[in-house]
């Protein structure tokens, strides 16, 4: 019989041991990390996958730059599950941990990350327009709005690594803001209860990126 049901319990036990070992667990990473990432990508259970992803996030907080050899496989996993509703929050937490723990190496992967961000912003923008035209169900749009807010928060958290891509990110965010606040579509029509919150979050994100840009300019 399949032993997949035991993966979650086994990994919780492993993480308990690693937490107690601290950096002394580093020699064992080569035996553990590839197995976790492979299981994340091959298992058919969302709950198990989410649990394993959270374990990788916890592990990254313990070993930090010692996860450097596994960045290619980690980013393959990020790209594969970026568009899943269940896992995006954990995926973004993992990305931010990598940016903090392995900042120099992480920059090599930003060109793979930015297109994912831009695509998600564009999808949200399109769904906002569709909702206003009556072509989108409330529940589906709400789920997309939750994804968008997670991504906007992550952009702010990653601002220090996104400086070379502000010429792409800021215009995309301004276009999103235009759709959220377009008076031609808000006047006389129902306004989604999330619009105000997302408008504020988008403005905050643009402001943070522009302030980051100002701080990196030469005197």
What would the mean pLDDT of 147-176 be, rounded to a whole number? 94
Please give the C-alpha separations between residue 67 and each of 25, 36, 116, in angstroms, as whole numbers: 12, 13, 22
Residue 13 has pLDDT above 60, yes or no: yes
What does the mean pLDDT of the chain come to? 85
Helix (H) or strand (E) holding 116: helix 110-132
Secondary structure class of 187 (helix, strand, coil) = coil
Closest by CA position to 128, among listed 203, 186, 201, 207: 186
Query: What is the signed CA dihedral for 97, 101, 107, 109, rounded to 10 degrees?
Result: -50
pLDDT per position as a tens digit, 95-138:
999 999 999 999 999 999 999 999 999 998 888 877 766 665 55
Instruction: Inform me whether the pLDDT recorded for 151 exceeds 90.
Output: yes
Q: What is the pLDDT of residue 212?
A: 80
Comparing C-alpha atoms, which of 110, 35, 45, 51 is closest to residue 79?
A: 110
Given pLDDT bands bounded at 50, 70 and 90, which one contains residue 2?
low
User: C-alpha 187: how far from its chain's center?
Assistant: 33
Helix axes 138-157, 88-101, angle to 10 degrees: 10
pLDDT at residue 219, as a whole number: 39
What's the pLDDT band for 8 if we cut at 50, 70, 90? Answer: low
Cβ-based neighbours of 3, under 8 Å, separated by 6 or more: none
Tokens of 123: 């999808």
Per-residue pLDDT band at 218 (split at 50, 70, 90): very low
Question: 45-101 pLDDT, tens per residue?
Answer: 888 899 889 989 999 988 989 999 999 999 999 999 999 888 999 999 999 999 999
pLDDT recorded at residue 194: 76
The predicted-structure confidence for 176-203, as pLDDT tens digits, reads as follows: 999 888 765 554 455 666 788 899 999 9
């Amino acid at each position: 019989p399949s032993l997949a049901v035991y993966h979650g319990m086994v990994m919780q036990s492993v993480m308990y041991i690693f937490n107690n070992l601290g950096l002394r667990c580093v020699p064992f990473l080569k035996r553990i990390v590839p197995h976790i990432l492979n299981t994340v990508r091959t298992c058919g259970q969302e709950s198990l996958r989410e649990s394993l992803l959270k374990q990788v996030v916890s592990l990254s907080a313990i070993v930090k730059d010692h996860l450097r050899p596994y960045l290619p496989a980690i980013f393959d996993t990020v790209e594969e599950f970026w568009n899943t509703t269940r896992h995006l929050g954990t995926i973004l937490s993992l990305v931010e941990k990598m940016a903090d723990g392995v900042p120099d190496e992480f920059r090599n992967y930003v060109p793979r990350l930015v297109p994912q961000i831009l695509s998600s912003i564009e999808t949200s923008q399109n769904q906002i327009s569709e909702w206003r035209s009556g072509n989108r169900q409330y529940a589906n749009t709400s789920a997309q709005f939750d994804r968008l807010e997670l991504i906007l928060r992550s952009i702010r958290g990653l601002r220090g690594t996104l400086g070379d891509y502000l010429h792409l990110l800021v215009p995309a965010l301004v276009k999103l803001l235009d759709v959220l606040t377009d008076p031609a579509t808000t006047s006389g029509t129902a306004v989604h209860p999330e619009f105000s919150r997302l408008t504020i979050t988008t403005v905050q994100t643009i402001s943070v990126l522009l302030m980051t840009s100002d701080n990196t300019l030469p005197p």
